[in-house]
Amino acid sequence: MNLKLALKINVATLRGALRGVPVMIERLRRHGAGASFLFSLGPDRTGRAWRSGFAGKPRQVSAFSHYGISALLYGTLLPPPDIGRRAAEVMRATRDAGFETAIHCWDYAAWLGNAENLDAVWAETEMRRAHERYREIFGVAAPGCGAAGWQLNAQALRMTQRLGYRWASDCRGRHPFMPVWHAEVVHCPQLPTTLPTLDELLGTDELTAANVHLPLLRQTAEQRQDHVFTLHAELEGLRLGDTLERLLAGWREQGYELVSLTQLRDTLDPDRLPRHEMIRGEIPGRSGTLMLQGEEFLSTWQEAA
Please name every residue paired with 145 in a beta bridge, in sequence order, or none if there are none: 103, 168
- What is the C-alpha separation between 89 and 13, in angstroms, rounded? 15
Q: What is the mean pLDDT of residues 116-137?
A: 94
| Neighbouring C-beta atoms of residue 203, cutoff 10 Å | 16
Q: What is the mean pLDDT of residues 70-77?
A: 59
Report pLDDT for 14: 96
- Taking each helix axis as running N to C, give the angle between helix 213-222 and helix 241-253, from 0 to 180 degrees, rounded to the nearest 10: 20
- Average pLDDT for the chain: 91
Report pLDDT for 12: 95
Please name every residue paired with 227 in a beta bridge, in sequence order, or none if there are none: 5
Domain ranges of the chain: 4-304
Is the per-residue pLDDT at 50 higher than 90? Answer: no
The tens digit of pLDDT for each residue in 199-216 reads 999 988 899 999 999 999
- Fold adopted by 4-304: TIM Barrel (3.20.20)
- The DSSP letter of residue 180 is E
Using pLDDT thresholds of 50, 70 and 90, give the confidence band for residue 63.
low
Is the per-residue pLDDT at 83 higher than 80? Answer: yes
Amino acid at site 251: W
The tens digit of pLDDT for each residue in 257-302 reads 999 999 999 999 999 999 999 999 999 999 899 999 999 998 655 4
Contact 171/279 with Cβ under 8 angstroms? Answer: no
Using pLDDT thresholds of 50, 70 and 90, give the confidence band for residue 115.
confident
Report pLDDT for 304: 45
- What is the C-alpha separation between 259 and 208, in angstroms, rounded? 26
The tens digit of pLDDT for each residue in 141-161 reads 999 999 999 999 999 999 999
Nearest alpha carbon to residue 116 among 283, 232, 276, 288: 288
Q: How many residues does the chain have?
A: 305
Report pLDDT for 61: 55
Q: Look up the pTM and report it.
A: 0.92
- Taking each helix axis as running N to C, give the angle between helix 21-30 and helix 241-253, from 0 to 180 degrees, rounded to the nearest 10: 30
Q: 120: which residues sit within 8 A by CB, 6+ positions away? A: 153, 154, 155
Contact 136/164 with Cβ under 8 angstroms? Answer: no
The tens digit of pLDDT for each residue in 172-208 reads 999 999 999 999 999 999 999 999 999 999 988 899 9
Q: Higher confidence at residue 117 or residue 22?
A: 22
